[in-house]
Structure 1
Amino acid sequence: MTPYILLDKTSLPDGTLLSLHKHGDEFILEYNGLELMSTGLTYSEQMLAELGCADLLEGAASRPPHPRVLIGGLGMGFTLKRVLELIGSPATVDVAELMSQVIEWNRSYLVEHNGPLLEDPRTNVILADLFDCLGEGDLYDAILIDIDDTPDALITEDNAKLYTPAFLALLKESLNPGGCLAYWMAVPSPRLEKVLKKAGFQLQQYPARPHQQSDEERHRIYVARLVSEDGIPPSSKVDESKG
């Protein structure tokens, strides 16, 4: 039998436990003993990058001269890896991660799986809450958020602030004109849809499989763009057949 090995563990600010395990060639991140993500289930996290950065692809006419992307939540690095593959150079990809241990795991254990993502000159990892990374005058062409399963299933209670009018106002202020906001959700989230629409975003929802061969599309990617002042939603360059 293949052993299930505990590699390291750490406590979140509210005392809950985050732990990294290895089972054969697979790495697994657990939250209070329950699987949160693994290197065997990466499809929807990559899809978040693909949908959120659809206007920033290398060689695309819509690509800004120097795209700037902000990722909320490093996790196991799947979204970051796909963003770096897509947007080319020059570019800047800021990653807000609350837990220093998660950053260290990506530099040590997970480099075996994803490579040295954090050493890429385009990558800038910020040890901070995503809330505190906005409103400093920096503008982004895409903001990708993969932190909670849904607003009703938070990793920490403090994350409730990430779905408030104050936070959504910061997101709006931090997007370049025509910029894209994208959320990963474990399941459909009517609450997220409601708060984003109330904040003035036009939404598209995409079913997402946990892995490419799966028949189950339980995850959701929400792509949000600001409605223009004349009330006409901006056109989307995202292929709605994706997923």
Structure 2
Amino acid sequence: MLPRETLATAEIPGGDKLTLVSHGRDFIIMLGRDELMGTRMQFSEEQLAELTLDRVTAPAPRVLVGGYGIGFTFRAALAKLDGRGRVIVAEVVPEILDWARGPLAHLTGDTLDDPAGEIVIADVAALIDDAVDGTTPRYDAILLDVDNGPDGIVREGNERLYTRTGIARMRDALNPGGVLAVWSAAPDNKFTVRLKDAGFAVDVQTVRARPNNKGPRHTIWFARI
């Protein structure tokens, strides 16, 4: 059995610790003893970007991604847009980008230098607030992958994103016809109701974690205004 090797650690604002480990050819980001994400189960994170942008009608979309992680959603969004529009990622742990340019550089390639992309060290809620307040333009899509879902909070304070108030803020940060997409490790019927109550048309999809139709089933909400 291959041992896991710790490559780096970083603190999440609020005190929890992330650990980047290697396991043979695979890389995993751990939160405590729990696997948060890894290279063996990236498909649903890529689908978060691809399926969302399939639903966006703006010719040059402005896209906000909550959470960089290993960069699967960011890279998939850039590839899908193919030079059209812009992808802004909010990431609260700056060391994540050091990992992207270091141990994970073979995955990252040159995407961090893509002029169509931007990584902002900030809470995604702050960038949503800026769009609502008119400090920045609104978005054509908001993609959330900052937790394990509405009922699987990774960072203290993220709970507000999934409340009625948080959903209303995200709705107000979208352009007409915009799409809010939320990734989750599990279904959550109460969250579906809150999205509908906020005036969204909601489509809930189940996506496998691996492209060979194997691995856990993950949930993605696609909510359009």
Tell me the TM-score normalised to structure 2 length.
Answer: 0.91
Aligned twin of 1:17: 17
Aligned twin of 2:223: 224
Root-mean-square deviation (CA, aligned residues, Å) is 1.6
What are the equivalent positions in structure 2 for 1:52-201 lying under 5 Å apart?
52-56=52-56, 62-64=57-59, 66-136=60-130, 137=134, 138-201=137-200
Residue 166 of structure 1, CA deviation: 2.7
Q: In the alignment, is the contact (CA less than 8 A) between 1:96 and 1:125 conserved in 2? A: yes
Find the aligned partners of 1:81 and 1:127 in 2 and give their Cα distance. 17
Q: Secondary structure at the match of 2:129?
A: coil
Residue 215 of structure 1, CA deviation: 4.1
Higher helix share: 2
Query: Could you say if the C-alpha distance between residues 2 and 118 of structure 1 is closer, same or farther in structure 2, counting changes exceeding 3 Å?
Result: same
Range with bigger deviation, 213-222 or 8-17 = 213-222
Task: Please give the per-residue CA displacement for 1:122-174, whole angstroms capped at 9, x wherever unaligned.
Answer: 11111111110013222111111111112222102211111123322221121
Q: In the alignment, is the contact (CA less than 8 A) between 1:207 and 1:217 conserved in 2? A: no
5+ long unaligned stretches in structure 2:
none
Q: In the alignment, is the contact (CA less than 8 A) between 2:204 and 2:222 conserved in 1? A: yes
Tell me the TM-score normalised to structure 1 length.
Answer: 0.85
Range with bigger deviation, 165-174 or 128-137 = 165-174
Residue 194 of structure 1, CA deviation: 2.0
Query: Could you say if the C-alpha distance between residues 222 and 55 of structure 1 is closer, same or farther in structure 2, counting changes exceeding 3 Å?
Result: closer
5+ long unaligned stretches in structure 1:
57-61, 227-243
Find the aligned partners of 2:61 and 2:211 in 1 and give their Cα distance. 28
Task: Compare CA radii of gyration and give the structure with the larger one.
Answer: 1
Q: In the alignment, is the contact (CA less than 8 A) between 1:52 and 1:142 conserved in 2? A: yes
Task: Please give the per-residue CA displacement for 1:30-84, whole angstroms capped at 9, x wherever unaligned.
Answer: 010211111111110011111111145xxxxx442x3211001111100111111
Which amino acid counterpart does residue 102 of structure 2 have in structure 1? S
Q: Secondary structure at the match of 1:53?
A: helix
Q: Secondary structure at the match of 1:172?
A: helix
Find the aligned partners of 2:39 and 2:29 in 1 and give their Cα distance. 9
Q: Secondary structure at the match of 1:15?
A: coil
Find the aligned partners of 1:117 and 1:166 in 2 and give their Cα distance. 34
Q: In the alignment, is the contact (CA less than 8 A) between 2:208 and 2:217 conserved in 1? A: yes
Query: Could you say if the C-alpha distance between residues 14 and 4 of structure 1 is closer, same or farther in structure 2, counting changes exceeding 3 Å?
Result: same
Which amino acid counterpart does residue 64 of structure 2 have in structure 1? L
Task: Please give the per-residue CA displacement for 1:101-140, whole angstroms capped at 9, x wherever unaligned.
Answer: 1122122222212313211111111111111001322211
Task: Please give the per-residue CA displacement for 1:178-218, whole angstroms capped at 9, x wherever unaligned.
Answer: 11111111011113212211211111011110102234552
Task: Please give the per-residue CA displacement for 1:211-243, whole angstroms capped at 9, x wherever unaligned.
Answer: 0223455211110012xxxxxxxxxxxxxxxxx
Q: Percent identity?
A: 38
